[in-house]
Amino acid sequence: MKIGSIALDNNLILAPMAGITDRPFRQLCRKLGAGLALSEMVTSDMRLWNSRKSRTRLDHRGEQSPRAVQIAGAVPAMMAEAARVNVDNGAELIDINMGCPAKKVCNMLAGSALLRNEMLVAKILEAVVSAVPVPVTLKIRTGWDKDNRNALSVAVLAEQSGIQMLTVHGRTRACGFSGEAEHETVAAIKSRVKIPVIANGDINSPQKAAMVLQETAADGIMIGRAAQGNPWIFREVYYYLHTGRILAPPKSEEVAGVLLDHLDGLYQLYGEYTGIRVARKHVGWYCKDRPGAKLFRDAFNQANTVERQSRLIEQYFIQQKQHDLAA
C-alpha cells in the first residue's frame, strides 16, 4: 500500500489515541505487524508545546520510518505552521484530525467539530498540503450527527485538496464511541474517490477485519481500542488475511517478555515516576480476562518502583504459564 510517495509494509494501521499511542506503543505495534502507527494527537498551537506532555508526544527518536504525526486545530495558518515544524523535526507524514469527538477538542472547534464547516475544512486541508513536502492524510467521522452525515462531500473535498489518504471512523461525532460503527459510508466514499480509503471503528478481530475489507473495498483498516493490551492483533489480522487461518494466541512467556519491554520503553520515555503510573493502565489491558487478574492489578497498582513492577509481572506470568500447562 502506498500513501503518496510512501510505501507501507502492509495496510494495517494503528489509530492515534491520546495517552496511549506514545512512541513505545507505536514501536511495539510496528514490530508486531502494523504497517503504520500514528502519533498521539498534537495541538497546532505551538505555544503549548513546552509542556512535558507535548514534548513527549513530539519525541520520535529511534522510531522507524515512516514517522507519522497527527495534528489538530481550527486555524489554517497555525495548522500549516505546525505541520512544517513537525516535518522539520522528523515527521514523514502529517495526519489531520477531524475525527476526535472529545468535548475539549470540539469546544475549540477542532476535531470532528470541523465537519460542520466544509469551507473551513477545505482551507485547512489546502493550507497544510501546500505547507509541507510530505504526504498529508485526513481522519474524519461520518458527520456531526445522524441528520448531518457529510463524510462523502468531505472526502471529495479532501481529494481535491491534495490529501493522500482518508480514514473514516464509522460513527458521527454525536455517537462518541457508543453503538456499533457502520462501514457503509466507507464503501460509498471508496466508490467516489481514487485516493486510499481506510476503514476504522470496532475492528476487533481478524474475521471482522476481513469482513470490513470485503464489504467496503477499503484499501486498509485502522485499529484502535482493540490493540490496547493486545498489540498482537496486527500480526493475527495479517496472518488471517493472507492464509484464511486463525493464528494461535501468544504464549504466556511471550506476553510477559513483550510487556516488560513495553514498560521499559515507558520508563525510558517518561522517567521512573511518570512511567510507573503510565504502566498501570497498560498492564490492566494486557491482563484483562486472565486468571487472577484483579488481585494482580491491585498489587501492581500499589507498586512504586520499577523493580517492584517488574518482579510482580515476572511472578504473575510464571503463574500464568503453570495455569496454561494445567489447562
Residue 69 has phi, psi (to 5 degrees) of -120, 130
Structure letter (DSSP) for residue 196: -
User: How far is residue 208's CA from residue 130's CA, in Å, rounded to a whole number?
Assistant: 37
User: How far is residue 256's CA from residue 315's CA, in Å, rounded to a whole number?
Assistant: 10
Please tell me whether residue 56 adopts helix, strand or coil conformation.
helix
Structure letter (DSSP) for residue 45: -
User: How far is residue 304's CA from residue 56's CA, in Å, rounded to a whole number?
Assistant: 22
Pick the catalytic residue from 100, 106, 175, 287: 100
Sign of the CA dihedral running 265, 267, 271, 274: positive
User: How far is residue 78's CA from residue 124's CA, in Å, rounded to a whole number?
Assistant: 9
Site of grid cell 481535491: 160
User: How far is residue 229's CA from residue 53's CA, in Å, rounded to a whole number?
Assistant: 22
Cell, residue 326: 494445567
H or E element: which one contains 137?
A: strand 136-141
Bridge pairing between strands 197-200 and 165-169: parallel
Active site residue 100: yes
For residue 8, with 0-12 CB atoms within 10 Å meaning exposed, 13-18 middle and 19 or more buried, which class applies? middle
Sign of the CA dihedral running 315, 316, 317, 323: positive
Q: Which residues are catalytic?
A: 100
